[in-house]
Amino acid sequence: MIARVSAFVAKVRSLVAGRRADREFDEELEAHVSLISDRYVREGMTPDAARYAALRQFGNVTSLRETCTDMRAFAPLQTFGQDLRYGARLLRRSPGWTLVAVLTLTLGIGATTAIFSLVQAVLLTPLPYPAPDRLVVPATTFTRLATDRGPVAYADVLDWKAERGLFEAVTPLYARNVDITDGAEPERVPAIRTDDAYFAVLGSAPLLGRFFTPEDNLPNAPRVVVLSHSLWIRRFGSDPHMVGKPIELFGVPATIIGVTRPDAIWPSDAELIRPLGLGGQPDAGILRRDNHAFMALARLGPGVSIEQAQAKLTVMATAIAHRDANRADTGWKLHALDAYVVGPSLRRTLWVILGAALLSLNPEGEP
């Protein structure tokens, strides 16, 4: 171990020393050649013949010098430095071409870096929820519309909740902006309405206060809201005493009961969460199978794969379509949440753009 460290230190010193080390090698080599030459002269050879014989005894001096340099220094770094100096000399001879080359490299590297950052954020970084691979988005397939990302009916969500072993938790979502009308300035913010299973699906605990209970979701329950972490910071200055305080939405008061942790909401732009108020026994209009007014979010049950859940949903959807004329030519499609967020078209587009940016740095496809 000590020998390796010593060799490493010696290589670093040689790298720093640079040309001085080469001069010392040449001087030492010349001293040895002179000693051998003097011995040959004393044996009767002419000075020129003696020097030639001494050099032959040493062999290929150039090869010996290169071998010694490789042993005492980081040859790849030295070679890189030589190539760099050579390239700099060529660029100085053609300033116009140099400017074009530098601009091309700058744009290419900048574009590639920006696109890779986008690809990493959108495609490579996992979603910020516990066990994100178990989060799924059930959607309706509409044959006539050629889509498998359609909204769902509230009756569908109730069926999924009742199917044991399918989902650990499932929740309906209804997105709608709300107006906060109290405080210094009114503000319109993106919001969602959901039920008490929402935060169980996301696997999140409150930062402050609590989340909804089944009682909060009843039609005549007191009005309550949960603030997103971003809204709590931006509008309420991270006040730790906001729980229990009133907030006015559309001119109607409600009570703040909790604040979420960062990255604990989906869709991620929502800033306010309210109960749907559909607990108990919803009316017949809400339960219509063709009332596709909601999104849904679910967490797969323990040990249930997305393929197994999809197979069960397909059987359930087929049975519903047979007995309900409003559901003809429809089905259910289960999307992994990360795939649903990005979508197949955007995923392909990002990879193609990244490939094109990489090719711009190597237009001839050279390795």
Mean pLDDT of the chain: 82
Most confident of 116-120, 129-133, 322-326: 129-133
Model confidence, pTM:
0.65
* For the chain, percent of residues with pLDDT exceeding 70: 73
Where is pLDDT greater, at 220 or 12?
220
| Structure confidence at residue 365 (pLDDT) | 45
Where is pLDDT greater, at 347 or 28?
28
Mean local confidence (pLDDT), 288-306 = 95
Q: Which long-range contacts (CB under 8 A, 24 or more apart) does 212-219 make?
A: 212/257, 212/273, 212/275, 214/279, 215/279, 216/257, 216/275, 217/275, 217/276, 217/277, 217/278, 217/279, 218/277, 218/279, 218/280, 219/277, 219/278, 219/279, 219/280
Where is pLDDT greater, at 303 or 37?
303
221-275 pLDDT, tens digit each? 999 999 999 999 999 999 999 999 999 999 999 999 999 999 899 998 999 999 9
* For the chain, percent of residues with pLDDT exceeding 90: 49
Res. 367 pLDDT band, cuts 50 70 90: very low
**Domain coordinates of the chain in residue numbers?**
2-89, 132-339
| Structure confidence at residue 262 (pLDDT) | 92
| Structure confidence at residue 237 (pLDDT) | 94
232-244 pLDDT, tens digit each? 999 999 999 999 9
| Structure confidence at residue 84 (pLDDT) | 74
**Quick check: 9 pLDDT over 90?**
no
Res. 85 pLDDT band, cuts 50 70 90: confident
